[in-house]
A and B are shown apart, each in its own frame.
Chain A
Amino acid sequence: MTYKLAYAPYIRRTERAAKLSADVLIALVPLCIFSAVYYGLRPVLLVLSGLLSALICELFACLLMKRVPTVGDGSAAVTGSIIGFLVSPLSPYWLPAVGAAFAILIVKMPMGGSGRNLFNPAAAGLAAITLLFPKYMFTYPDPGLGIPLPISNEALETVVTQASPASLLMSGGKTLYTPAMLLLGDFPGPIGATAVLILVSCGVFLFARRTISSFIILPYLLVCAVIAAVFPRVLGGQADSIMVELCAGYLLFAGIFLLNDPVTAPRHWLGRIICGVIAGLFVMLMRYFGRFEEGTCFAVLLVNAFSSTFDRLGWYALNYKRIRKRRRNR
């Protein structure tokens, strides 16, 4: 009688890779409900458009590459949903679909698919549609009207639009939005990025589930806040500046969902801190000197490129003595 051989350990934690994606998708549901309350069914359809496009593109790419479809791991669903959540509620339905298709077909799958992509596909998809269609991306409806947005693309021309806090920051002057309005999401912005309190709750949920790490998001927010305090772009003091800078655009959303993507984020705690600091710096530089009112996706792509370097930097910094000792003994 012969028995099978295997590598130790012979027990494994039941956590699967798909659980990480499932957690993110669960965290996104309250944001979807929130936007539906403010804008009606249209934002939900936009998110679904991004999601379905990502799933179909991933399936198509897997068939093309003659691979077992990896749709089941949920990473494509997360990419598509995030793109859907970061477009304007006034965007045409094809916009998130194009972004998701770019993310999957150009950024993710050619690099080897799930787990092998160098850049965050969602950030890349957003960067692509931001560069190609800035008009659609940064035209936001007034949330204070309380009227659901029309479902059809043609009827959108009648909708009252309003300048977002991010665009007000670009032009300078006094902010129109009180801290209460900012916290409750009563301001124009991308579908999923305005509900600040819900976003914070999502962050806490994902942190409790160990899906995201505080080592990235806390230094990231801290750096953004410090820059906002030192170089305010609005009249009314440092507190107002910090509040508006952190709540405007999708700075907070990117900190929770984009920077913490397991594939592209550093793994070592010190590398994560370095990543958070650099990301905060890049985001604020993009805002202060960039062409668009919101350039967080570009900042995310920039830090993604150095993710592995941050990891090694962090690890080498902590283990420098050990490595030197080993080299001497060798």
Chain B
Amino acid sequence: MQEVNYRLSKFTKKGVSLITAKEPAASRPIVDIAPLSQVTVPLLSASGDSLRSAVKINQTVLQGDLLGLAEPGAGYPVYAPVSGLLVGFREIQHPLLGNVSCAVLNCTIAGSKYNKQDQRSVDKSADYIKLAQTMGIIDELDGMPLAKKLAQWKKINSVCLVADASEQEPYSSSAWSVLNESTAEVEKGLELISLAIQASSRHIAVMQPKANYKKLKSLIKNTDLLQVSGKYPAKLVSGAKNICRVGVQACLALYHAVEYNRPPCNVVVTVTGDAVTNAQNVRVPIGTLVDDVLHFCRLSPRPEYVIIGDAMTGNTINRTDIPIVPGITCIIALKACPRSSVHPCIGCGRCVSACHAGLLPYEIMRRLDNMQYERLASLLAEECDGCGACSYVCPSGLDVAAKVIEAKDAHGNIFLKWGNGDDI
């Protein structure tokens, strides 16, 4: 078996030590959301193409019925996450998907096309990549279609497959809860992916206290369990250098697709933050509005900020009538205002020490502020992965990460092509 570790740069200790705020959600069981009156399902293929509706207005659909049709032979379809009546379509400006057309389903009908007893024998020679495509499974780690990722990995020799439940950011615990609740199923799902891409080894990565790790280790039989330690963001390294990460919910979805022929209808999200009274992991149908989930977990006073994603890399939203899609694993409602800028950069170099990509965040910020766009190109801002460690450590409270991402996004802009970069 290949040696796989989570570790940081060999020479300097990069990264930051984060606080943990996973409790009490992490230790509570996953709760199914109360029956909803309406869901709003984005009709957008995971590849980014708009889908054609397979159902007409005022027509009823059962859970698992095809809702959005992709182009024949390509694209990823969307299935009805709940049984209900299609009452119309809505255009929504989604923070992750952009402007998207959504099907609005009134959840007036009970029942489903599927039930647990419909288990079928697993065909080990079946094309799981094709199945992942027809089922429209999305990997929650990056919001990418699972089929697309698997097709890419299949071409690589010596793949080290890792189901990543490490959740290094402070709040989210949905992957851990799913893994804890459906350990065997996730393991089987990972095995199926491993078969599909012919991976040379497979692992499950967690970042848990010792007791939890030991408990999980006793439950996992055929897969290597990795304990992630070190500073955020810890990187996976292996001698083989072909590490492929997949989310545990995607593993579970593939297992359900193979075992029960059931498309993914639900996602598990961590709902937490100081403005949430009942912080927990909630299983919600795809298309449930953020507002419904927040109210299900009871908002204490009116929160000032609602964040989709975790505290280090998430996005704030100004409206909560946004549907939850695979890729959203955490929703945070905060009362307190994040610290605003108080001082100019004092040049302490904390951001340089924290940057695991080895960039000079303060210099990128300075050049952007001074409008030296032509000198930005040589600072490799495009290699930033937006982990937010530089902003986290900044003693002046500056939004360094936002500036670096701005510089990264400006790549290709005509201003950047004025010069040949910064020659010393």
Contacts and interface: CB of A to CB of B under 8 A. Distances in A.
Contacts of A264: 347
Contact of B346 (A5, A114, A327): A114
A291 to B, nearest CB: 31
Contact of B317 (A3, A75, A262, A318): A3
Q: Which secondary structure characterizes the binding site on chain A?
A: loop
Interface in A279-330: 309, 311-313, 315-316, 318-319, 322-323, 326-327, 330
Looking at chain B, what size class is its interface with the partner chain? Answer: 35 or more
Given A3-B304, A10-B314, A11-B170, A73 B349 contact: no
Contacts of B362: 267
Contact of B344 (A5, A116, A316): A116
Contacts, number: 159
Q: Which secondary structure characterizes the binding site on chain B?
A: loop
B414 interface: no
Contacts of A311: 360, 363
Contact of B401 (A9, A73, A313): A9
A115 B343 contact: yes
B224 interface: no
Interface string B393-424: 11111010110000000000000000011101
A330 B19 CA distance: 40
A67 to B, nearest CB: 11
Interface string B367-389: 00000000001101011001010
A66 interface: no
B380 A319 contact: yes
Nearest to B417: A330
A9 B392 CA distance: 6
Contact of A8 (B12, B18, B388): B388
Interface stretch (A14-22, A36-44, A123-131, A251-259): A14-22
B348 A267 contact: yes
B124 interface: no
Interface string B13-28: 0001011000000000
Interface stretch (B51-59, B125-133, B143-151, B334-342): B334-342
Given A3-B303, A3-B306, A4-B318, A262 B347 contact: yes
B281 interface: no
B345 interface: yes
A268 B352 contact: yes
A316 B378 CA distance: 9
Given A7-B402, A73-B343, A311-B363, A2 B392 contact: no
Centre residue among A11, A15, A19, A264 by max chain B CB count within 10 A? A11
Given A10-B338, A318-B358, A5 B348 contact: no
Contact of B348 (A262, A309, A315): A262
B358 to A, nearest CB: 7
Given A7-B401, A16-B395, A312 B306 contact: no
B399 A7 contact: yes
A326 B359 CA distance: 14
B346 A262 contact: yes
Contacts of B12: 269
A40 to B, nearest CB: 36
A145 interface: no
B360 A315 contact: yes
A4 B335 CA distance: 11
Contacts of B215: none
Interface string A241-281: 00000000000000000000011111111001000000000
Nearest to A113: B344
A180 interface: no
A312 B360 CA distance: 9
Contact of B305 (A6, A16, A263, A272): A6
B314 A8 contact: yes
B343 A10 contact: no
Centre residue among B18, B170, B319, B391 by max chain A CB count within 10 A? B391
B302 interface: yes
Given A7-B399, A10-B305, A12-B392, A313 B343 contact: no
A310 B149 CA distance: 42
B347 A263 contact: yes
B348 A9 contact: no
Interface in B42-72: none
B395 A8 contact: no
A33 B318 CA distance: 55
A4 B347 contact: no
16 contacts: A3-B318, A4-B337, A5-B317, A5-B318, A6-B305, A8-B316, A10-B307, A11-B19, A12-B338, A12-B397, A17-B342, A115-B343, A115-B344, A316-B378, A319-B358, A323-B421
Given A12-B397, A315-B363, A319-B380, 7 more contacts: A5-B318, A10-B311, A10-B314, A12-B394, A13-B395, A17-B396, A73-B343
